[in-house]
Amino acid sequence: MQEKHSTSLQVLLGLGILYTLYLAHAIILPIVLAFMVSLLLSPLVIKAWKRWRLPKPVSALTLLFILVLAMGGLVTSIAAPALEWAEKAPQSISRVLVGENELRSQLDKLTESARQLEESMEEFSDEQAQTVILQTESWRNQLARNAQKTLVGLALALALTYFFLVSGDRLIFNWVRQTPRKSRRTLLNIVRASQQQMARYLGVITLTNFSIGLTMGLVCWALGLPTPALWGVVAGLARFIPYLGVMSAAALLAVVSATHFGALGWMLIAPLTYIALTGFVGAVIEPYIHGFRMAVNPIVIFLSIFFWGWLWGPVGFFLAVPLMTVIQVVLSQIPQLKPVHRIISR
């Protein structure tokens, strides 16, 4: 009976944590994002202190300033082309899907049948139909409101990242000192391994994704596609979401090519080039550079992407694999959880 009560409490605790993560995402997301960025940048801060005796506050501010400049430059360069394409996308896509072809004639027949059905239904109605006009907020206003929330979250994440870089080691050290002696080594190993794995994973994948984005931008420019810089950025960012992101970006490149070209061969150049490039980089280049690949079953990666995406939206898609990397390190370092690590491994 006691074991049943213990299991029930554990289930309730898990549901409570899940509900808290969902409900308080506006607060938790900046903290998680700051923690991930600090794991990536902390080796650089430590190296600057050991080699050049550069104080941590100075190196942390310098790195964050460079990061903000890079993000600002990226957003500035693609904001106008993205908005322009978003306005033209519905017309372009509808022109591809509903051109002067058999599909258009079938849709016209379907529309005419629906109109006749509506007229016949009006004969059985005693009340005169009333026209209801729904006023919806424009997508530009929604985008502006979401951008404002995003900027607030990013500002909070940057501030937290600074404090993590400057005082995070001391906080971890004080926390470890409060644990039993036999657990201290395990906790320190988890922190060090997480920092190494995250820095190695994010550093290499950022470099390779930047290269892929630059290459695809040049390919789109050579093909004459509109706003090639935008599609280069999309191609690079999509690789941060394994499998799903690559497929989505390839489909988007196919749609853009279809709206611009008339021949099928030209339509397939950009998406097939992207698929071949990402496959080659993922199978050959990245393992050669750092000798490490995500040793987690692809099914677990898919479930992780869907779970964090459902929980935290678009940001969750990008954080899914880094979070899985940290979870994998934790499972591999704790003896009681090693069976779970073996189950989810390749």
- Computed over every residue of the chain, the mean pLDDT equals 78
Rounded CA-CA distance 106/113 in Å is 11
The 10 Å Cβ neighbour count of residue 6 is 10
Lowest mean pLDDT among 100-104, 112-116, 220-224, 293-297: 100-104
pLDDT higher than 90, residue 273 = yes
The CB-side HSE value for 186 (13 A sphere, CA atoms) comes to 13
pLDDT given at position 103: 45
pTM of the predicted structure, to 2 decimals: 0.72
Name 345's bridge partners: 296
Q: Name the packing angle between helices 298-312 and 25-52 (round to 10°).
A: 120
Given CA atoms 214, 314, 61, 170 in this order, what sign does their dihedral have?
negative
Q: Where are the alpha helices (DSSP H) in the chain?
A: 2-23, 25-52, 56-97, 102-122, 139-177, 181-223, 228-238, 244-260, 264-280, 286-290, 298-312, 314-333, 338-344
For residue 308, give both structure tokens.
């964090």
Residue 178, SS3 per DSSP:
coil
Burial of 165-204, coded b for 16+ CB within 10 Å and e otherwise, reads bbebeeeeeeeeeeeeeeeeeeeeebbebbbebbbbbbbb
From the list 269, 302, 292, 296, the residue with the least C-alpha distance to 208 is 292
Mean pLDDT of 142-146: 67
Residue 296, SS3 per DSSP:
strand
Q: Tell which wins on pLDDT, 131 or 169.
A: 169
pLDDT given at position 101: 45
Name 296's bridge partners: 345
Rounded CA-CA distance 242/320 in Å is 9
- Domain ranges, ordered by start, for the chain: 26-91+141-178
pLDDT given at position 75: 79
Rounded CA-CA distance 112/98 in Å is 16
Tens digit of each residue's pLDDT (9 = 90 or more) over 85-116: 766 666 555 555 555 444 455 556 666 666 66
Read off φ and ψ for residue 180, nearest 5 degrees.
-60, 150
Rounded CA-CA distance 149/3 in Å is 45
pLDDT given at position 139: 53
pLDDT higher than 50, residue 35 = yes
Q: Which long-range contacts (CB under 8 A, 24 or more apart) does 143-149 make?
A: 149/26
Q: What is the 3-state secondary structure (H, E, C) of 37-82?
A: HHHHHHHHHHHHHHHHCCCHHHHHHHHHHHHHHHHHHHHHHHHHHH
From the list 244, 208, 210, the residue with the least C-alpha distance to 321 is 244
pLDDT higher than 80, residue 276 = yes
Q: Tell which wins on pLDDT, 87 or 174.
A: 174
Q: Letter for the amino acid at 162?
A: Y
Residue with structure tokens 């692809």? 298
Tens digit of each residue's pLDDT (9 = 90 or more) over 2-19: 566 677 777 788 788 888
pLDDT given at position 131: 53
Contacts of 233 (CB under 8 A, 6+ apart): 74, 77, 78, 213, 217
Q: Tell which wins on pLDDT, 123 or 59.
A: 59
Given CA atoms 289, 290, 292, 294 in this order, what sign does their dihedral have?
negative
